[in-house]
Amino acid sequence: MQTMTAIHRIRIFDQQALARIADWLAVGVAVSLPWSTSATGILIVLWLAAVLPTMSVDRVGRELATAAGGLPVLLWLLAAAGMLWADVSWRERLAGFSPFHRLLLVPLLLAQFRRSEHGGWVFYGYLASVLGVLAASWALALTPGLSWRGIEFGIPAKDYIFQGESFTICALALIGRACGYGRAGDWRSALGLVAVSVLLIANIFFVAIGRTVLLVFPVLLVFVGWRQFGWRGLLGAGLAGVVIGAAAWFGSPHLRARVNDSVADFAAYRERDADNSTGMHLEFLRKSLTIATAAPVIGHGTGSMPEQFRRVTSGERGASAVVTVNPHNQILAVAIQLGLVGAVVLAAMWIAHFLLFRGEGFAALVGALVVIENVVSSLFNSHLFDFTQGWLYVFGVGVAGGMALRRHRSAPDALPADVPLSAEA
């Protein structure tokens, strides 16, 4: 009997130790994400190895029974089935199936951070890493004599799209947190967070501007205003957006050049000259709609995009002849392969994740920002299928969602922090 008790205590200790290790590895993923693809991949594998032994069938099953945890897995299952009717090689089917795999981690993260008290570590780790990118970006922009020049002007790592999106999410999250400090009368903390937000926003518009962020930023700004102060906040955010936009337009040659180039590219596309970035994106959109409507219900099958683009571009020239595996629209990327059924499941997943963050608190704000940013940016990108943005969504929703569930959990789940892991479920 004593031996069995000792074994039980060792098992509890091992699970608790693994749970803490898994928490720290999740922090490591967040810290590495803005900097290194390789490090992020390695840390995700290590995180899985640590977290899986702490999971029970009941705990994971509870998350799968919810819309937030179950719909990502349903989309994965649909993609798995889609390989059966794809008219391409199995190598292409498996390649098309690969981007869906990360969705399986959403219920695991929800289960982990529903129980863990350390979800905030992940947020702070990501914020600290993004602020490191911010400091390096300003150094590259303001110190042209540096021997190290980063990826390109003002971009120390990854690319300007992800950098702008990360800065936008962090800036608006900090503004939301500053509003809370302001309501509590802690004006020093509020002004400090606003100052950091200003540095992030200034970098977006004056150093490395992307077209996607020009749409994402005002949407998130308006959402934060509405979330914090209702209709008054909505009006205030609109006015703030006008002021920021005017200041950026008149003060940033980078912004004016980006907008003018995009307008010129669009005009050239209308004149049948699509050999530019904007023209290619519009061609991808036009051809994607043609491909999707040819198999509207269940699509052409998982992994079918390259072959479908090869067929519709055959005999064309210039940008119209470009074969892509990325139509730069998440809904169409799913609809081409899985039809209207897949697109509906994708939309339902986004809605379920947004509804997960209806409550109060910083975790709910961050989670909502991650979801809205992904939805808006996915109108022009296939971000769930992109490595960095895809993992940002999975970990952002999973960690923030688990924290939100922990905050609003029902009485049967309300366990004290010192209850052994094996006692849950």
The pLDDT of residue 231 is: 87
Which residues neighbour 143 within 8 Å (Cβ) at sequence distance 6 or greater? none
H helices of 252-386, where? 253-270, 277-294, 305-313, 330-355, 362-377
Amino acid at position 199, single letter: L
The distance in angstroms from the start CA to the end CA of the chain is 24
CA 91 to chain centre: 27
Q: What is the pLDDT of residue 107?
A: 96
- Better pLDDT: 425 or 397: 397
Predicted local distance difference test score (pLDDT) of residue 315: 59
pLDDT tens-digit map of 126-175: 999 999 999 999 999 888 878 887 888 889 988 888 999 999 999 999 99
What pLDDT sits at residue 326?
78
pLDDT number for residue 255: 81
What is the per-residue DSSP string for 218-242? HHHHHHHHHHHHHHHHHHHHHHHHH
Q: How far apart are CA 229 and CA 235, in angstroms?
A: 10
Q: Which domain holds residue 338?
A: 2-423
Average pLDDT rounded to a whole number, residues 35-46: 95
Give residue-wise pLDDT tens across range 291-339.
989 999 999 999 999 888 888 876 566 555 566 777 889 999 999 999 9
* Predicted TM-score of the model (pTM): 0.89
Q: How far apart are CA 315 and CA 300, in angstroms?
A: 22
For residue 217, pLDDT over 90 is answered with: yes
Question: Sign of torsion, CA 164 165 167 168?
Answer: positive
pLDDT range class, residue 230, cuts 50, 70, 90: confident
> 218 vs 168, 178, 186, 212, 365, CA distance in Å?
10, 18, 27, 11, 16
pLDDT at 420: 35
SS3 assignment, position 155:
strand
CA distance 113 to 324: 38
28-60 burial: b if 16+ Cβ within 10 Å, else e: bbbbbbbbeeeebeebbebbeebbeebbeeebb
Helices of type H across 65-210 = 67-82, 90-97, 105-115, 119-142, 160-183, 187-206
User: What is the number of structural domains in the chain?
Assistant: 1
pLDDT of 416 higher than 60: no
Q: How many CB atoms lie within 10 A of CB 231?
A: 9
> How far apart are alpha carbons 29 and 119 in whole angstroms?
13
With bands split at pLDDT 50, 70 and 90, how would you rate the model's confidence at 275?
low
Residue 226, CB-side half-sphere exposure with 13 Å CA sphere: 11
Residue with tokens 């390649």: 95
Task: Record the tokens describing residue 87, joined without a space.
Answer: 């008219």
